[in-house]
A and B are shown apart, each in its own frame.
Chain A
């Protein structure tokens, strides 16, 4: 059942479930951060509206910089601001930032420990009709291997707002990953959010019932995972745990290891390549601390294509049925 302590959206399994683009939450969080701290500055590479910097730009025109279609310069100008007492947020599509400007981010932001927050939008295959050129499915891998970098992948617009505000208050480089489309609102303003702390969103209804697997997920696919958890519990009597693992780096190892010790089997779910993604990070921890069977739901070393988000998720193995099959498969592997 849903973890009642987290005060999640009471309409989560209703037909009138609200949907919003996760990037909306970034725009709101950025504006709030700007109101709280006058050293917050924002820069974009010609994507003010679609990366939701418009409100900040209107409210604080003197603290907003339009860099043009120049993602490399976006990173280095922000790096200079970030070592001069400012907290810059830079936004573009993830495929361009941190895709095109990866080395600039590495040298001038991460190695310099410049206080820059990188917002990568339109991440994942769910970006949809734009096609594979615009679907960043490698960005977590790019950023995860970089020293000094933190990574947060919010599950909905509300969590995105909290994550944006949170990184504005934490020193150092951080990467925020946002998907493009309207996705279900899972949390509420009262749901606690702490960077670096993974939260158990679903667990068996009583302590007598043992969970058979834990699903660790980051991003909007959390909703699909919760649908699977509910279905397995109600229709098949299979209980699992679901962890919202929004902070991919540094990862909440304690929560993950404890959950795996309880369940004995793991499924990871992300709209990203399985190579080098959040699931790989979980596997690295478990290989060291508590080896257990793992199934990875993610993109399997291929490029995407044009299509609607749901068509793409289903075709590339990220649909509800794929998650369900992975859970059943990993439970079988335990025996």
Chain B
């Protein structure tokens, strides 16, 4: 993938901001859904769909495409908003999230929407499916990459660690996991619900290459993926430190926003903040 240059960086920042606005608009329209994680992962999703992934929104079934598996399906508002802006489907359709007859299911469904690699929602199952896809790629001598985006809270699930062992055993260097380390889950802070630290050392002990980054810094995101691609003897995980609710001051770092949407008034306030931020970026440039 090409390095980031100044104009591209600006484009990514502006796109992530548009995606955040779309997330807020989508959630308020849906009346239910997960705000904090969706907003927190907007930069990572933007980096993947607009810079890192080798994909074709016009031909989502292209066999050589990179695979992006979203394991914690509850943050699908960010997946859908990013896919819409990337050209997979009309942006207008975001309004149908969680509604009857919609392709945008409350948790992603592979069959509803072309481009969604797997059905997800029940936690801890994405990494293993990504492993299956990475194994299949190796068997078929395919060169595409398999990315698995996961939450930190879902590491409570034993299945994640079963998968972590398996990926290291098979030296799946075509698999790159990204953990959204936002420190919250539905009942509270991760370290209070079920401590995960030291997460980096845990993955290292399981035989993975680990990189920790600021998940809101595009250069760090891209550099970490490039570094992971250069590791040939083991799978890689990028522990990506993010701020849940990023971009909306009253949602940031507050676990109560894990699983609820904004009200109409809150959404207006949120959109105002996001639009001002965009103005600031343009002003600085």
Which chain A residues have a beta carbon within 8 Å of chain B's beta carbons?
41, 62-63, 65, 67-68, 70, 72-73, 75-86, 88, 103-104, 107-108, 111-113
Contacts and interface: CB of A to CB of B under 8 A. Distances in A.
Given A76-B125, A108-B125, A112-B118, 12 more contacts: A70-B159, A72-B124, A72-B125, A72-B162, A73-B162, A76-B159, A77-B129, A77-B166, A81-B132, A83-B110, A83-B118, A86-B132
| SS class, residues of chain A in contact with chain B | helix
Contacts of A68: 162, 165-166
Nearest to A62: B139
Interface of B: 109-111, 117-122, 124-125, 127-137, 139-140, 158-159, 162-163, 165-166, 170
B109 A83 contact: no
Nearest to A41: B139
A70 B166 contact: yes
Contact of A81 (B109, B120, B124, B136): B136
A77 B131 contact: yes
B158 A72 contact: yes
A76 B132 CA distance: 7
Contacts of A82: 132
B128 A80 contact: yes
Contacts of B121: 107
Contacts of B130: 80
The winner among A78, A85, A107 for most chain B CB atoms within 10 A is A107
B162 A108 contact: no
Contact of A107 (B125, B127, B133): B125
Contact of B128 (A41, A77, A83, A88): A77
Contacts of A73: 128, 159, 162-163, 166
A189 to B, nearest CB: 32
A85 B140 CA distance: 9
B119 A111 contact: yes
A108 B163 contact: no
Contacts, number: 101
A62 B121 CA distance: 32
B15 to A, nearest CB: 29
Given A68-B162, A73-B162, A107-B122, A80 B131 contact: yes
A73 B122 CA distance: 14
Contact of A84 (B136, B165, B166): B136
A60 to B, nearest CB: 11
A84 B118 contact: no
19 contacts: A41-B139, A65-B135, A68-B166, A72-B158, A73-B163, A73-B166, A76-B125, A76-B128, A77-B163, A79-B125, A80-B118, A80-B136, A86-B132, A86-B136, A88-B132, A107-B120, A108-B118, A111-B109, A112-B118
Contacts of B139: 41, 62-63, 86
A79 B128 CA distance: 8
A103 B125 CA distance: 10
Given A72-B159, A107-B121, A108-B119, A67 B132 contact: no
Nearest to A101: B159
A221 to B, nearest CB: 35
Contacts of B134: 80
Most chain B C-beta atoms within 10 Å of own C-beta, residue among A62, A70, A80, A85: A80
Nearest to B167: A77
Contacts of B170: 65
B109 A104 contact: no
B132 A104 contact: no
Contacts of A79: 118, 125, 128-129, 132
Nearest to A106: B122
Nearest to B69: A80
Nearest to A116: B132
Contacts of B109: 111
A148 to B, nearest CB: 10
A63 B163 CA distance: 18
Nearest to A103: B122
B256 to A, nearest CB: 27
Residue with the greatest number of chain A CB neighbours at <10 A, chosen from B109, B121, B128, B158: B128
A293 B170 CA distance: 56
Contacts of B159: 70, 72-73, 76, 104
Contacts of B135: 65, 77, 80-81
A67 B166 contact: yes
A111 B118 CA distance: 10
Highest count of chain A CB atoms <10 Å: which of B120, B163, B170: B163
Q: Which 7 pairs across A and B sit closest by C-beta, in order of nearness?
A: A80-B132, A76-B128, A84-B136, A73-B162, A80-B129, A70-B162, A81-B132
